[in-house]
A and B are shown apart, each in its own frame.
Chain A
Amino acid sequence: MTMLSYMSIFIRRSAISLLLLLAATGAQAQMKFFSIQKDSIPLFRGFAVSFDMVGAGMLLFSDYGQYEGAFRINLHDEWFPIIEAGIGKATHDDEVTRLHYKTSAPYFKIGIDKNMLKDKHGPNRLYLGLRYGFTSYKVDINHPGLVDPYWNWEAEFVIQEAPCKYHWAEIVVGIDASIFGPLHLGWSVRYKQRLAHSEEGEWGKPWYVPGFGTYDTKLGATFNVIIDI
């Protein structure tokens, strides 16, 4: 064997060893991420209910928004399975295109958050979480007094109670600060991704989806008032 072939075998073996080491470390880190810290604190730490102020504010200041509440279980101050539910609404009359759009429907989200802070049992939390959201809703779209520009015939543009369904996922990053007693305030920023949607008929795609926002939106935020129970 030449010196070159010895070196080649050495490099190959080193590379394989390194890969195996990385894989083992990665698996260990993964196990650590999904594990629960071992201490004297019990697993079940109670419930919390919360209300989102941003969605309500959007309804107040714009043509669409949502009232959203959440119910969260606290597992060892580390894992927080959560159900979020609300009613999304949109009523828009466009001054330029003269299109009227209306929808109002409940929506549901289910997911889990993990407290990423080292001090799990402290008063503040930093979350990383996932959500799956679903809504089934109907939209009304119409354009009153639409006239054909060439022939001047009146055209009826009315979409009445068109049924739609929408599924989506969210990646959540949030903070939660204890104020006093059971009261917490929290922020979250969400990256949203449409998973599937269906609209009955060939009329196009919806503009606003309850709970998700406008059809192609990617970012969302919540400001939560949280009460520990």
Chain B
Amino acid sequence: MGSGATWGLLAATFTASFVEFVEALTIVVAMGATRSWRSALAGSAVALAALAILTAVAGYALVSWLPRSALELVVGALLLILGLQWLRKAILRSAGLKALHDENEIYRAEVAAARAAGEEQRLGLDWFSFVVSCKGVFLEGAEVVFIVITFGVNAHDVPLAAAGATAAFAVVVAIGAIAHRPLARVPENTLKYTVGILLATFGTFWSVEGLGVFRPGSADLEWPGGDWSLLALLVVWIVVSRVLVRVLPSIADRGVAAVAAS
């Protein structure tokens, strides 16, 4: 793997994981601050243990059962779906066609739910804080695991992908420990836009390569220039998304005008 692809892999896993960890931390901090830090942290610990088992099992299954090109096709397609969902939302938000994602609002909603919940105690823990933190960390963490496994396996460097995610985890935990409040100052839409572009780039590259599974011998489809095509794809996705941000508002206005005139 070239150094460009190495940095791309590290940047992609770091930023994608960072966004997921921010969302998980928002939930854990809301539970800890309003109900019980001990229960919220216990729920997070159980979720992290479950994620470690999932990673080991899924990683082994992916590497052992699927031929390389089929793996690239499957995980490339999944990455593409995930990345384009993020990119779609970021484009709509940048174009003013969708409200900005607000971690403060999520925090307020979680706090309101926590205050409205009962006082059930199990195993000496505040059960609501435990369950909500466990679910939040597991769901957001599962996305990180998926990104690390798919990027790592496809780029033949799982440790590097894991290092990107671990660095993001450390940064988010450090921010959480220092700030101790919702991470609303993190420009989440910008991050999601960046991650969407990166996932769309890698997803396009790998899913197209993986279509070689339908050729005799199942050899990968070749991109001109090999890994350097990633840079070209990155530029194309950036240009296309910026054009959509500019053009979509006028298309939306025309749609509203057409409905009003009919």
Q: Is A bound to B? A: no
The residues of A with any CB-CB pair to B shorter than 8 Å are none
The residues of B with any CB-CB pair to A shorter than 8 Å are none
